[in-house]
Amino acid sequence: MKTWKLSELDSLFAAIAAAQKLYIPADAAGQPAFTLWTPGLSMTKALNTGRSAKDLFFPQVENLVNFKVSGRRIQVEPGREEVEDFVIFGVRACDCRSFDILDSVFLSDPVDTFYADRRSHATVMTLACSEPEETCFCTSLGIDPQAPAGDVSCWAMEDTLYLEANTEKGQALLSSLPQLGQGEKPQTDASVFHRLPLKDLDFSVFGEKPLMDWFNSPVWDSLSQSCLGCGSCTFVCPTCQCYDVEDFDGGATIRRFRCWDSCMYSDFTMMAHGTNRPTQKERFRQRFMHKLVYHPNNHAGQIGCVGCGRCLQKCPISMNIVKVAKALKEGKA
Amino acid sequence: MQDRVMEKAAALLESGVCTRVLGWKTGEFFYDVTPAVFTSAEEVRTQMVYNPFCGPNLSKYLIAESRKEGKIAVFLKPCDTFSFVQLQKEHRIARDKVYAVGVQCDGMIDMDSLKALGLRGVTAAREVGDNLIVSTLYGEKTVPRREALSLRCRVCKSKRLNDCDEIIGEQGGDLPSDRFAQVEALEAMTPEERFAFWRSELSKCIRCNACRNVCPACSCEKCVFDNPGSGVRNKAAADSFEENLFHIIRAFHVAGRCTDCGECSRVCPQGIPLHLLNRKLIKDMNQLYGPYQAGADFDSKPPMLAFTPEDPEASIITNGRDGQ
């Protein structure tokens, strides 16, 4: 396996960044986020970023097209940004799995060309976990945090970074780094993952009953009771994918952009038919039904959650997919 | 305290003083409590919790809850009672439908504070004297309780429980607080430094609206920013100008009504110190119009609603930056 000294990570970043843009998880104003690497920028000590890695493929705001109005003439100009090849380093196994889920939506017909463009230009370098948070539950979703996917998988063990290419793209990247050494990766220690408090969550149950049984469960009332209707869970979620298309109307210049939207919001989908789910209970139910029931129903059983634990950490009232899944299963909240 | 709150909640339901209790429900962990309404003593005994992680301010829920049938009992910390009074002043809560139990407070512990101390995989915490013994997946660690406190609790302004029907613990008073110290530090910066500070903070905003939705002063039934018919609907900041102005405008909208409860900063998933915007306005109003604390009483007139010909015209820039 290829190797690099962890103490010289900066020079590895410099070598990658010499050829293409590189994003690493770094602290930005106290908040870990995937950040464009420039000399001197170092990795965050946090396990994961506040916002997920989906931002690199599906940014919060993205220009689609511009209109220039002069008198009765409207000139239409493309607003699409030119995407160059880039590398994301330090993606955790959970976020890497989220790309599969996003792919299943954005890359199926009709293909979202903005998303596809970024995906095809990216080389994903994942980083294996060794010190999970108590909120981690990716193992319940069939993810091995110690064997992350991606174009290149990395392991930081003792003083060495071990790198292994999984795809042609990954192979090409590693070949472009002749400075890499060679070494044998030691055995990983999985014991802490067996002590995780949420390791035994069972999501298979959601495929075992008719959809309407879950939809009509009596637990939704109390689960959604104190939901603030904010979009925190949605926006930190690596698999949430809803967006709105809006115009920034400057009169003579109009910029049409798309931006993240949240099914938790009262004005979600109002643009389409002037109605939305009437109360927070229905909006709340939609979000979790989508993750646990609708998405797997439409995508060969694939649950729309990767167990990253962000919603557990970020919800202002500590309501989250784990509490919802357990309450639905037990039939009481 | 935990036992007394639970006993009180159960007793209020059993005696018929109220039909519902607004408190906190247990979670997956020891810290992830969720605001919840309980309708029976049995529910209270099996699901309710009161512990140093019960940070959420329950006052805003009373807007909706006090419009429902029957009386609701609520447990409020001193800072929450300022919001409770302020919302009544704004005629947003039907007071006769609420039985308010004030619970004295030693400061709430916050997971963000614990994580900021470098703790990872936290599975339990217990208070021993002035310390907190924290169990993690990687062993046990002792930290001083004050370092685990929520940021707002470190500069607690008052332990006074306002307008409660009953109090658990001792009634408290206002505290000397250096809550404006950070505002002063920002004021001491050059405009360029201050701009850079706020840009770095506000550019983190993801417009999740958690700050607005949790804010007891943001109690409009429908926010203009959510209203497609308002012409100013704003789901995402189109540029850095909108990114900055959303929070600054929101701070102005709640000026004179913000009690400095700190919920905005507590809930921000991006760790933006939003409360500093509000505190700056509170500090300015104190200086311009005399000391005023929103939610401290029912009679005082809010500075933004009280005009006198002697009022300084600080917002009119005539010559230079301070209106001189």
Which domain covers residue A293, as residue numbers? 204-330
The DSSP secondary-structure symbol of B158 reads B
B319: confidence class by pLDDT, cuts 50, 70, 90: low
- Residue ranges of the domains in chain B? 2-108+159-168, 111-148, 181-289
Q: Does residue A76 sit within a domain? A: no
- Can you list the alpha helix ranges (DSSP code H) found in chain A? 9-17, 93-106, 113-121, 168-175, 191-194, 211-215, 220-224, 232-236, 270-273, 280-289, 295-298, 310-314, 321-330
A interface test, pick of B43, B136, B208 with most A CB neighbours within 10 Å? B208
Residue B321: name the closest of B193, B188, B191 by CA: B191
| % of chain A with per-residue pLDDT over 90 | 90
Q: pLDDT tens-digit profile of B276-311?
A: 999 999 999 999 999 999 999 999 998 888 888 888
3-state class (DSSP) for residue A279: coil
With b for 16 or more beta-carbon neighbours within 10 A and e for fewer, the A273-293 pattern comes to eeebbeebbebbbbbbbbbbb
Which ipTM value was assigned to this complex?
0.94
One domain for residues A219 and A159: no
Per-residue pLDDT, averaged over B245-273, amounts to 96
Q: Give the pair of three-digit tokens for residue B106.
A: 């030693």
Q: Is A190 on the interface with B (CB under 8 A)?
A: no
> Tens digit of pLDDT for each residue in B108-159?
999 999 999 999 999 999 999 999 999 999 999 999 999 999 999 999 999 9
Of the three residues A194, A229, A249, the one that is the final residue of a domain is: A194
Euclidean distance between the first and final Cα of chain A, in Å?
A: 49
Q: Provide the domain count of chain A.
A: 2
Q: List the single residue in B204, B222, B238 with the smallest CB-CB distance to A61.
A: B238
Mean pLDDT over residues A227-236, rounded? 97
pLDDT of residue B316: 67
User: Would you state the torsion angle of the CA atoms of residues A150, A151, A156, A162, taken in this order, to the nearest 10 degrees?
Assistant: 140
Nearest to A318 among B33, B123, B203 (CB): B33
Q: Among A162, A194, A226, where does a domain finish?
A: A194
Secondary element (H or E) of residue B112: helix B111-116
pLDDT value at A102 more than 50: yes
- Residues of chain B neighbouring A47 (CB-CB closer than 8 A): 120
C-beta atoms surrounding A157 within 10 Å: 17
d(CA B263, CA B272): 12
Domain boundary residue among A168, A194, A220? A194
* Residues A247, A69 contacting (CB under 8 angstroms): no
Do A196 and B137 make contact, defined as CB atoms within 8 angstroms? yes
Residue whose structure tokens are 């760790």: B271
Confidence at B323, pLDDT banded by 50, 70, 90? very low
Burial of A196 (0-12, 13-18, 19+ CB in 10 A): buried
State whether residue A132 sits within 8 Å of chain B by CB. yes
Domain at B181-289, CATH class: mainly alpha
- For testing the chain A interface, which of B134, B227, B270 should be mutated: the one with the most A CBs within 10 Å? B270
Angstrom distances, CA of residue A166 to CA of A1, A87, A148, A178, B107: 12, 15, 10, 18, 51
Residue A317 and residue B34: Cβ atoms within 8 Å? Answer: yes
For the record, the structure tokens of B187 come out as: 């004021």
- Residue pair A76/A57 in contact by the 8 Å Cβ criterion: no
